[in-house]
Amino acid sequence: MTKWDKALIILVITLSILAMGALNFFVYAHTGTTVEIELDGKSYAKYELAQINSGKSIEIRSELGYNIVAMSKDGVRVIDADCPDKLDVLQGKINKRNQSIICLPHRLVIRITGGGGETDVTTY
């Protein structure tokens, strides 16, 4: 391992940490209000978190498999799925605007939108 190797690794890690910091600071700064679910690149369902009284769970089933999505006032998470690695379950609960849970094998994207400050990155 040469000093150039180390410099390259440090450069990549520094850039990544800066990008993660920027994401947390600017993009995930506000709590969202709406859950948008997309399946295979198309809009599937939309829920307002404020309108969910107690826990609500829905099952999203496609020819690729199923995911069970649990929603409450304070966020959304995937509680069960039949994808091989269950990364969507591991990602836990999200509630900040622009955060998302993605299940690649089932082509499922759950994203939080709405609420918070006046600038919305999605409009760019």
Residues that bind another protein (CB under 8 A): 1-2, 4-5, 8-9, 12-13, 15-17, 19-20, 23, 27, 38, 40-41, 64, 85, 87, 90-91, 98, 100, 102, 104-105, 107, 109, 111
- Beta carbon of residue 118, minimum distance to another protein (angstroms, whole number): 20
- Beta carbon of residue 9, minimum distance to another protein (angstroms, whole number): 5
CA–CA separation, 70 and 58 (whole Å): 7
The H or E element that residue 107 is part of is: none
- Beta carbon of residue 32, minimum distance to another protein (angstroms, whole number): 13
CA 32, 99, 103 angle in degrees (round to 5)?
130
Comparison of 71 and 109: residue with beta carbon closer to another protein: 109
Strand order in the sheet with 42-48: 42-48, 34-39, 108-113, 100-103
Comparison of 105 and 115: residue with beta carbon closer to another protein: 105
Among 51, 8, 49, which Cα is nearest to 32's?
A: 49
